[in-house]
Structure 1
């Protein structure tokens, strides 16, 4: 079921066309990745969807009807690139201040436990590490039990343990509650688990599909064979079944092999180029 649609959204600034006539469909319960190089228009798009910025043209549909942000603001949670929490308040005060803004909230104790906030509950937010702050940011965004959670580069600068923990919790919430998530990231391996992916560049959506669909369209699988003779060959293939046939046929002639499926890194580079922006 469609939860949120953006139709022909455009955002013009005095000296720049930041978002150029894009359309997105976010289905209920999905994990949707919005990817693109710096300056592609991802954050501007999110800002329009969450009401921080008004589109120059286009419309947003939440559920089954056209909507302004006031119609669905209580149904969304947002985690920005930079924190919006009060640095001098404790974790508890930041969370509870948010909770008091809503009549519908999640089970607070469960949220504290999931994000492992017990040990920092009474600490000032400003005293926390980057990973601790991000866990608090996401917990605060979830306190209102939103249907849709927006995450703008939620794991930038975090260590692998914190990133893994955050995604474990979010995936469990998706499974338990049907939470829908839209996120941007520069860690493209995070998009491998997305149900659907939009790739933007220069304000436009230049590709969209499932991960498997994008990999099939924009990458090739690579099989490298090392022979007893010292020769090495590299072959591009459509799928792993072709690789298996080649390996079986040449098994007695090989010393080693490497099979590498196309990745989202490959998709991204093939679509947006290798030049530094």
Structure 2
């Protein structure tokens, strides 16, 4: 069994009359790269704040490395990038990095940290003079300043262009390949699909799905069947059909039955491909089918 680094046990957290988390149980194990998905207000950031010791549950229990997240010694082994950061605009990049790393017994080397996140040469720049994307990359870099064992990244690539996003993906993959554990939230579902091994879907404060990316995709129960063909007859089980020239995309719950129907109808076709639905389609299926609370 892999070591459990963080654990929520029947956790409930409220903000006034709003229940942000409703009896959530979740384990984060050593070496995992977990994608935490959910609509706005689903409870993702609240869960991260509980693990990081920034909030306390109203009921249930939260553990970090086997103890309380309120223990500063245990928090030394985590890194966090929140959705929003408010770094002082007059400080220089090197001052911020040095200040943060000084809080850890084994802080990362400044030059190496900045290089990893594409900030080399910006040491003397003031925070207020950085672009939005540069500020975001710095905020993510600071999560790794203490050479953590476990990192929580809450919407880390918001505001980044495609190139910067891909570079950050590489940095996260390198950390994970070196034995690090990552919990990642993102509105970019292709980001979670590209990075995560395990996906946890949260909505209205509850965990609706928790499995591998492939297993969560399969929850939608649909397959994409693409082929090159002319006119097609009415085919059983086709939920959606799209055509791009001679290329046809068919969405179906039973790809085998669809292909058999094509053969029986003596439809000439080439280039048959069958693949699962995307994580985004599965996510929409999971959250759409969840009934509203009374």
Aligned with residue 282 of structure 2, among 254, 262, 267: 267
Contact 2:67 2:74 in 1 (8 A): no
| Cα 1:232–1:73 shift into 2, 3 Å | same
- The structure 1 segments of at least 4 consecutive aligned residues displaced by more than 3 Å after TM superposition are 224-235, 242-252, 255-260
TM-score by length of 1: 0.88
- Over the aligned positions, Cα root-mean-square deviation in angstroms equals 2.6
Cα distance in 2, alignment partners of residues 80 and 159 from structure 1: 19
1:104-119 map, 5 Å: 104-119=106-121
5+ residue gaps, structure 1, are none
CA apart distance, 1:108: 2.9
Greater mean alpha carbon deviation, residues 251-260 or residues 200-209: 251-260
5+ residue gaps, structure 2, are 236-249, 290-294
TM-score by length of 2: 0.83
Contact 2:51 2:69 in 1 (8 A): no
Cα offsets for 1:195-223 (capped at 9, x unmatched): 21111111111111111111122231121
Equivalence for 2:123: 121
Equivalence for 1:179: 180
| Cα 1:229–1:151 shift into 2, 3 Å | closer
| Cα 1:228–1:248 shift into 2, 3 Å | closer
Contact 2:136 2:158 in 1 (8 A): no
Secondary structure in structure 1 of the residue aligned to 2:76: helix
Equivalence for 1:68: 69
CA apart distance, 1:182: 0.7
CA apart distance, 1:39: 1.0
Greater mean alpha carbon deviation, residues 210-219 or residues 86-95: 210-219
Equivalence for 2:153: 151
Cα distance in 2, alignment partners of residues 254 and 21 from structure 1: 51
Contact 1:223 1:243 in 2 (8 A): no
Does residue 1:253 correspond to 2:268, yes or no?
yes
CA apart distance, 1:235: 5.6
CA apart distance, 1:158: 1.6
CA apart distance, 1:244: 11
CA apart distance, 1:106: 2.0
Equivalence for 1:190: 191
| Cα 1:224–1:68 shift into 2, 3 Å | closer
Cα distance in 2, alignment partners of residues 56 and 114 from structure 1: 39
CA apart distance, 1:76: 0.8
Aligned with residue 49 of structure 2, among 47, 50, 53: 47
Cα offsets for 1:49-99 (capped at 9, x unmatched): 111111101112233x34232151111111011113222101111101112
| Cα 1:42–1:137 shift into 2, 3 Å | same
Cα distance in 1, alignment partners of residues 86 and 280 from structure 2: 31
Does residue 1:201 correspond to 2:203, yes or no?
yes
Contact 2:89 2:128 in 1 (8 A): yes
